[in-house]
Structure 1
Amino acid sequence: MKTVLIIGLGRFGRHLATRMAKLGNEVMVVDQDAEVVEKLLPIVTDGKIGDCTDEEVLRSLGVNNYDICFVCTGSSFQSSLEITDQLKVLGAKKVISKADRDIQAKFLLKNGADEVVYPNRDIAEKMAVRCSMNNVFDYVELSQGYSIYEIPPLPKWVGRTVGEVDIRRQYSLSIISTKKEGKLDMLPGAGHVIEADEHLVVIGLQKDIDRVVGQFK
C-alpha cells in the first residue's frame, strides 16, 4: 500500500484516483471543483477543495508525507508547471506529472517532475495498434523493443500442445498466459492444449510479434 496525493480531478485524475483506491492505496485528492471532490469521497481516503498553485494550500497538505504526488491538472500548463516545481521545493518524494506534448514534458522534467505521463498520446497509440492490426485484442509496449500482445492462436496451433507448437523456438516468443472467458491461466505448461476460443498473451520483440500477427488474414 502507498500513500498517494492526486492534484487535479479531470477525467485522467478521477480514473487514476478510483483505480489507486481500489488497489488498496491511501488516496488524497485535491481540486478546485467541490462537486468533483465530493463525488470521490466515498472511494478515496480524503479530499480537499483548493487551488494548488497557492503555496500555502500545498504546504497544508504535507506533501513530503506521500509516497507519490500526481499532478493531473489539464486546464493550464502553467499551473501544472508551478505545482510540480512547488511540490519538489516542499520535499515531495516522487512527482509524476501529466503532459500532452513533448515540449511540456521537457519543462516539467526540468522543473522537478521525476516522471511524465502522456495519457492522451498513450491511449491514441494503443487504439491505433488495435485498429490497424487484425486480431490484436490488447497490447503493452515495454522497453528495449519488447511488447506484450493478446492474440488468438494461429489456426495451425489449435489442437496442439504448447510444447508441440514450440513458439519460443519457432517464433522467438514466450506464452506468459492464456485467456478464456476473461480468466487467465498464467504460464501454461508444455502439455497445455491450445484451443480455438482462447487468447494467448505473448511477450517478445516487436518484430517477432509482427511476424506472427502478419499471418492473420
Structure 2
Amino acid sequence: MKSVLIIGMGAFGRHLALKMTELKNDVMIVDKDAAIIEDMSSQVTDAQIGDCTKEDVLRALGIGNFDVCFVTIGDTFQSSLEITSLLKDLGAKYVISKASRDIQAKFLLKNGADEVVYPDKDMAEKLAIRCSANNVLDYFSISNDYSIFEIPIMKSWTGRSIEEINVRKKHHINILLIKSDSNTMSLPKADYIFKEDDLVLVLGKSEDVLRFSDNI
C-alpha cells in the first residue's frame, strides 16, 4: 500500500483515484472545483479544495509524506508545469505528470517530473493496433519493439502440446499465460495440451506477433 497524491480531477484523474483506492492505497485528491471534491470525497482517503499552483497550498499538504504525486491537470499546461516544478522543490519523492504532446513531456521532465504519461496517445495507439490487426484481443507495449498481446490459439494447436507446436522457434514469440475457461495458467509447462477455446498472452516483437495473428 502506498500514500498517493493526485492533483486534478478531470476524467483521467478521477479514474486514477478510484483505481488506486480500489488497490488499497491511501489516496488524497486535490482540485479547485468544490463540487468535484464534494462528489469524490467519500470515495478516497482524503479530499482537499485548493489551487496547487500556489506554493502555500502544496506545502500544507505535506508533500514529502507521499510515495507518489500525480499531476493530472487537464485545462492548462502552464498549471501542470508549475505544479510539477513546485512538487519537486517541496521534496516530492516521485512525480508522474500527464502530457498530451511530446513537447510537453520534454518540459515536464526538465522541470521535475520523474515520469510522464500520455493517456490519450497511449489509448489511441492501443485501440488502433487492436482494431487494425486480426485476432488481437488486447495489447500492451513494453518498448518500441516488444509488446504483449492477447490472442486466440490457432485451430491446429488444439490437442497438441506447447513443445509440439514449437511456437518460439517457428514464430519468434513466447507464451506467457494461457486462459482456459475461467482458469489462467502463467508460464505454462512444455507438456500443456491446448484446448479449442484457449486464449494466450504472448510476448514478442510487435511485427512478429501481428504477422502471426493475421494467420490465425
What TM-score, normalized to structure 2? 0.95
* Paired position in structure 2 for 1:154: 154
What's the secondary structure of 2:149's corresponding residue? Answer: strand
Give the Cα–Cα distance (whole angstroms) in 2 for the partners of residues 43 and 183 of structure 1: 31
How big is each residue's C-alpha offset from its partner over 1:101-125, in whole Å with a ceiling of 9 and x where there is no partner? 1111111111111111000000000
- Extract structure 1 runs of 4+ deviating beyond 2 A: 38-43, 180-184
Give the Cα–Cα distance (whole angstroms) in 2 for the partners of residues 45 and 99 of structure 1: 26
Structure 2 unaligned blocks of 5 or more: none
What's the secondary structure of 1:127's corresponding residue? Answer: helix
What's the secondary structure of 2:47's corresponding residue? Answer: strand
Q: Which 10-residue stretch deviates more, 71-80 or 155-164?
A: 155-164
Structure 1 unaligned blocks of 5 or more: none
Give the Cα–Cα distance (whole angstroms) in 2 for the partners of residues 112 and 58 of structure 1: 15
Once the two structures are TM-superposed, the CA of residue 209 in structure 1 deviates from its matched residue by 1.1
Q: Percent identity?
A: 54
* Paired position in structure 1 for 2:104: 104
Give the Cα–Cα distance (whole angstroms) in 2 for the partners of residues 59 and 172 of structure 1: 52
* Paired position in structure 1 for 2:68: 68
In the superposition, relative to structure 1, how do residues 183 and 38 fare at CA in structure 2: closer, same or farther (>3 Å)?
A: farther
How big is each residue's C-alpha offset from its partner over 1:104-150, in whole Å with a ceiling of 9 and x where there is no partner? 11111111111110000000000000100011000111125211000
In the superposition, relative to structure 1, how do residues 21 and 198 fare at CA in structure 2: closer, same or farther (>3 Å)?
A: same
Q: Which amino acid aligns with 1:64?
A: G
Give the Cα–Cα distance (whole angstroms) in 2 for the partners of residues 181 and 79 of structure 1: 48
Q: Which 10-residue stretch deviates more, 187-196 or 197-206?
A: 187-196
* Paired position in structure 2 for 1:38: 38
How big is each residue's C-alpha offset from its partner over 1:147-185, in whole Å with a ceiling of 9 and x where there is no partner? 100000112112211121121222221111112345422
Q: Does 1:52 align with 2:52?
A: yes
In the superposition, relative to structure 1, how do residues 67 and 82 fare at CA in structure 2: closer, same or farther (>3 Å)?
A: same
* Paired position in structure 1 for 2:23: 23
Q: Which amino acid aligns with 1:2?
A: K
Q: Is the 8 A contact 1:152 1:196 kept in 2?
A: no
State the number of aligned residues.
216
Q: Does 1:130 align with 2:133?
A: no
* Paired position in structure 2 for 1:3: 3
What TM-score, normalized to structure 1? 0.94
How big is each residue's C-alpha offset from its partner over 1:57-89, in whole Å with a ceiling of 9 and x where there is no partner? 111001111111000000111110110111111
